[in-house]
Chain A
Amino acid sequence: MTQSNSRASGATRDHLGRPIVAVTGIGLVTPLGIGVEESWAGLLAGRSGIRRITRFPTEHLKTTIAGQVDLPEEAGHGPLTSPGRVERMAALAAEEAIAGAGIGRKGAFPGPLFLGMPPVEVEWPQRLDLARGGVGAEGSKYPALIAAATGRTELFEGALFGGVGERLADRFGTRGAPIEITTACATGASAIQLGLEAIQRGEADAALCLGAEGSVQPEALIRFSLLSALSTRNEDPARASRPFEKTREGFVMSEGAAALVLESLESARARGATVLGLVLGAGERADSFHRTRSNPDGGAIIGAMRAAIADAGLEPGQIDYVNAHGTGTPENDKMETLGMRAVFGEGCPPISSNKSMIGHTLSAAGAIEAVFSLLTIRDQRLPPTINHETPDPAIPLDVVPNVARDARVQRVLSNSFGFGGQNVCLVLGAAA
């Protein structure tokens, strides 16, 4: 194909004449560990990061398990609220990625910030704290809460959507306005897509793309629980996340963060950076069917997968492995299988779900899984889908059951499908 020829000859433009985009730095925070190598080693070993929730009491909850990241600064203190956790984990991942890329000067990253994160708000510990300041029967009403909150700028800046991005932009010295994005479970992939596009358009030579999630707290857990989306296999946490397996019943909430330093291949080469891999393409498609379910025809999922492959200038047969969305809900299993068969036909490449081990890191998932995809290419080793005990005859896919294995992998399709019908797929490739 023209693209591989052009890359082999050292070209820095892709099949559409756009700058080729390289990944020169990666960072990870997952329930399997803080840092890329610890998380990746756990994943290849088929280790589960899911355990009983210890952060808060779980009485009256239908689901009492989750993937949790223990932050060093929380030891001996109360847990941080979600925006605090998001910011802290994003910062840890970004520090690792920037250090690895060796780009810019300290506190001066030479490009924009794209941050995939969940919506944040004033949370219960703060709300109750405000209510404790109120007096009498009206003391717990909103006007009283507001009176107690007035002028507490740390509360305001902590719960603003733009607050997390602003503080990260300040810390890492990224350029221009930070962009915070949410596309539900596709958020992390969307953040990478925005960075990819900015470099392709020539707006920037580099971009810092982050996906972070820190919503393991009572209200968020209960809300997902009320949608009947979560696994309730509480007695055996490590075996609760079972994507593509007959007895799966829902996803397991989790948290973490990933960071990718994207750069035009040209500027990466010019500064002699190590290229970890390429972001070859991205595709997206929205669904108009239902708020939490895909159109049964799979049109949007199939469209996003095909668009990403076409955007990369490839044919489906050139994809060696698929990093699944793989949440472990019956709905996702069904739709992702349908998508695989539609796009790849009889010859589906192997597909595995990182979420079988780390759970569903929601806003971080697309970014974490992009990093794992690059590591899959680096080590030529497919991470498994664990907890594969009873195959589902309706899922005729090679899900890399239970044990990692070696494989020749040059190009990976990474799927992310979100509530609200927001679907984003990325194609990641080996450095030329």
Chain B
Amino acid sequence: MTDQVWITGIGLVSSLGEGPEAHRAALAGGQPVVDEAGFAPFPIHPLPALDLDRQIPKKGDQRQMEPWQRLGTYAAGLAIDHAGARGLVSDMHLIVAAGGGERDTALDEAICAEIAALPPEEGARLLNERLAGGLRPTLFLAQLSNLLAGNISIVHGVTGSSRTFMGEESAAADAVRIAAARLTEGRAKGGAHIALVGGAYVAGRWDMLLLYAASGQLWRGPWAPVAARQAAGGGLVTGSAAAFLVLETESHARARGATGIARLGPVRTAAARRRGADSAEAAAAALAQGLPLRPGYAVISGATGAAVPTGAEAGFLAGLREAGPAQGPVRQTADLIGHAVEAAFPANLALGALAVQAGEAPQALVTGFGAWRGEALALMEAI
């Protein structure tokens, strides 16, 4: 029989704080932490204060990173600790869902001020000069997407393999899907038994706000919950968060006496073109075919707040209710931690795993509806 996959470790950081307890408490009725002023007119969920030394002990390592890589490396360490897997890192497989690291926005602004109005040839020559003189070599490494994984290898010693998926929300869902598939494929000789998978997102960044503002999907003005945004055309409130999960075959976890937090069932992903009949709702409905849902299953909703995918998700969940079995509570986690892009799906898996572990529901169905593309479902069960 094929080995099952357990989640044996969770490293979770958001604006609410870090660790399972802070997030359990918030799910039970907490309030979001919002910064409406720092990046006005866009509200964001800020980074919490982190004691970085606990997970990234060398100052030299911290200096080689910017906040995004530090956050992810920190959360990855929390997950390894939570799984009690420090001794297993040399053969641990790693898949990170990554965005881009921080640009030097002050340099960007200075260069724009100096050369935007110049004739193109003259501007191009000066651009070279200003970049060559102004860019810091270390910032390149801090900006490289694959260097979050690189830093996790360097700081925590995870060296079984290292892959970095790109593609916003869906990169994370596919990272989890493929990590789980590698664990269960039964590749006996030297095969994978334990994997670390996740992502991180820092919301308080002008460079990322520029990208998402171009979509026209960012929410402006005072914070409002996802549901309340819909009447006004919807909108994203991005949230700083990192979530890493230690995935492990059941047999491997049992053999080393590790506690399973939840069983990771099917993880399914799709990419609807979102035009005509190829809608996000239809894609998700197809993914849900044959899922072994049981009465009272909780939904950890990955609704982003953006109008089209949020509407599609609502339609999908309504269809699921109609088809039965009875749906349990639906939690829109973007109301608590914001939309954390590459970290959103892993964070929701973490919250779902904690919910089933606490006996709040027999199963947790995690949904992912990317702001632009990408649909994903995962089902978690209590052990």
* A residues with CB within 8 A of B: 16, 56-62, 117, 119, 121-122, 124, 127-128, 130-132, 134, 137, 139-143, 145-146, 149-153, 155-157, 159-163, 165-166, 169-170, 176-184, 190, 194, 197, 200-201, 203, 218-219, 222-227, 284-292, 300, 307, 310, 418-422
| Residues of chain A within 8 A of B370, CB atoms compared | 162
CB-based contact A420/B144 at 8 Å: yes
Report the stretch among B111-119, B311-319, B357-365 that lies at the interface: B111-119
CB-based contact A119/B145 at 8 Å: yes
CB-based contact B161/A179 at 8 Å: no
| Residues of chain A within 8 A of B164, CB atoms compared | 181-183, 422
* Given A151-B214, A197-B185; 17 other pairs, CB 8 A cutoff: A57-B124, A60-B132, A119-B144, A121-B100, A146-B210, A149-B214, A160-B168, A162-B168, A165-B167, A177-B374, A181-B165, A218-B124, A288-B154, A419-B141, A419-B147, A421-B150, A422-B146
| Residues of chain B within 8 A of A165, CB atoms compared | 167
At the interface, yes or no: B59 with Cβ under 8 Å from chain A? no
User: How far is B286's CA from A59's CA once the two chains are assembled, in angstroms?
Assistant: 55
If A149-B214, A422-B150 touch, does A128 touch B137 (CB 8 Å cutoff)? no
CB-based contact A166/B373 at 8 Å: yes
Chain B's closest residue to A299 (CB) is B159
User: How far is B131's CA from A62's CA once the two chains are assembled, in angstroms?
Assistant: 12
Report the stretch among B74-82, B187-195, B247-255 that lies at the interface: B187-195
- Between A and B, how many residue pairs show CB distances below 8 Å? 248
At the interface, yes or no: B351 with Cβ under 8 Å from chain A? no
CB-based contact A153/B271 at 8 Å: no
CB-based contact A149/B112 at 8 Å: no
Quick one: CB contact mask for B101-120 with A, threshold 8 Å, 1 for yes? 00101001110110111000
| Residues of chain A within 8 A of B166, CB atoms compared | 117, 119, 161-162, 180-182
If A150-B216, A162-B373, A223-B135 touch, does A197 touch B167 (CB 8 Å cutoff)? no
User: How far is B224's CA from A19's CA once the two chains are assembled, in angstroms?
Assistant: 52
Min distance, Cβ A323 to any Cβ of chain B, angstroms: 21
CB-based contact A422/B189 at 8 Å: no
Can you list 6 residue pairs at the A/B interface with Cβ under 8 Å? Answer: A60-B128, A60-B129, A127-B108, A150-B216, A161-B100, A179-B171
Q: Among residues 63 to 117 in chain B, which have CB atoms less than 8 Å away from a CB atom of chain A?
A: 64, 94, 98-100, 103, 105, 108-110, 112-113, 115-117
CB-based contact B149/A422 at 8 Å: yes
Min distance, Cβ A119 to any Cβ of chain B, angstroms: 4
CB-based contact A177/B170 at 8 Å: yes
Chain A's closest residue to B39 (CB) is A143
Min distance, Cβ B138 to any Cβ of chain A, angstroms: 9
